[in-house]
């Protein structure tokens, strides 16, 4: 299957700071990427759909000004958590959509806000 | 309401004890059903895509089947390394090309 990377894998930041997470599609061009959030022992919660060259589409209840998404190229999408607070601590996972709508997921980023 | 339900929530098996996981869905216009495996602290790993009722796919000890209402993931003679959470997701008409995920089945295989 396709390979998707995320960086960093873990990050600890102080409350009020911003954190950027990168998601790269390593072996195919992805016009569409997705950002998910996952709570312990829960399933994936879609946050937003990232489309190359256009604005991201956010799910209901997700603050677009807090979770900034940029999809500047066919292989890179970034999620920036702005003014992070402890309640933003979570496991963030990105995916890239393949030709047949299957999604290939990155390894995830564990964010801890202190 | 469009919904994906997985059962059981958790399953404990002895090594070699075959079983099945269920994924039932209530969506109109199914375009694809996807199975993933997720290990703790990692992103989901793509396993299979099924598109139409009657379709089956196999990979090692896993076989996925699809009907008009549900999908089964059959695990034959499981090994401890098959322990993981198995997620299913559906893509359907009117779903804006997004996947709807079930809550998953946590599988534990003991030697």
Q: Residues B6-39: pLDDT tens digits? A: 999 999 999 999 999 999 999 888 899 999 999 9
Query: Residue B2 above 80 pLDDT?
Result: no
Residues linked to residue B62 through DSSP beta bridges, in sequence order? B59, B75
User: What values do phi and psi take at A83, rounded to 5?
Assistant: 45, 60
In CATH terms, B3-95 corresponds, of 2.60.40.10, 3.40.309.10, 3.40.50.410, 1.10.260.40, to 2.60.40.10
Dihedral over alpha carbons A14, A19, A23, A24 (to 10 degrees): -110
Residue range B78-108, pLDDT digits in tens: 999 999 999 999 998 877 778 899 999 999 9
Q: Which of A32, A25, A38, A37 is nearest to A81 (CA)?
A: A37
| Inter-chain CB proximity A102 and B34 less than 8 Å | yes
Distance of CA A86 to the CA centre of its chain: 18
Chain A residue with Cα closest to B6: A43
Q: Are A32 and B97 in contact (CB under 8 A)?
A: yes
- Residues of chain B in contact with residue A91, where contact means CB-CB under 8 angstroms, are 41
A100 contacts B32 by C-beta, under 8 angstroms: yes
Identify the closest residue of chain A to B86 by CA–CA distance.
A43
Q: Taking a C-beta distance cutoff of 8 angstroms, is the pair A99, A91 a contact?
A: no
Encode pLDDT of A15-47 as tens digits: 999 999 999 999 888 889 999 999 888 889 999
Q: Provide the shortest C-alpha distance from residue B103 to chain A (in Å).
A: 5
Residues of A with CB under 8 A from a CB of B: 1, 4, 6, 32, 34, 41-44, 46, 49, 91, 93, 95, 97, 100-108, 110
């Amino acid at each position: 299957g396709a390979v998707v990377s995320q960086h960093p894998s873990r990050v600890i930041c102080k409350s009020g700071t911003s954190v950027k997470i990168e998601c790269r599609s390593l072996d195919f061009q992805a016009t569409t990427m997705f950002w998910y959030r996952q709570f312990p022992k829960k399933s994936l919660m879609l946050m937003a759909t990232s489309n190359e060259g256009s604005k991201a589409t956010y799910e209901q209840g997700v603050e677009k000004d807090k979770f900034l998404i940029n999809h500047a190229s066919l292989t890179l999408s970034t999620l920036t958590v702005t003014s992070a607070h402890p309640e933003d601590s979570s496991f963030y996972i990105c995916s890239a959509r393949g030709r047949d709508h299957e999604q290939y997921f990155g390894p995830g980023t564990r964010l801890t806000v202190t | 309401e469009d919904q994906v339900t997985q059962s059981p929530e958790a399953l404990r098996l002895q090594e070699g004890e075959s079983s099945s996981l269920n994924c039932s869905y209530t969506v109109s216009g199914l375009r694809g059903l996807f199975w993933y495996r997720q290990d703790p602290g990692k992103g989901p790993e793509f396993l299979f895509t099924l598109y139409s009722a009657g379709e089956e796919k196999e990979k090692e000890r896993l076989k996925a089947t699809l009907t008009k209402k549900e999908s089964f993931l059959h695990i034959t003679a499981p090994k401890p390394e098959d322990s993981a959470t198995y997620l299913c997701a559906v893509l359907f008409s009117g779903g804006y090309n997004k996947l709807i995920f079930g809550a998953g089945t946590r599988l534990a295989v003991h030697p």
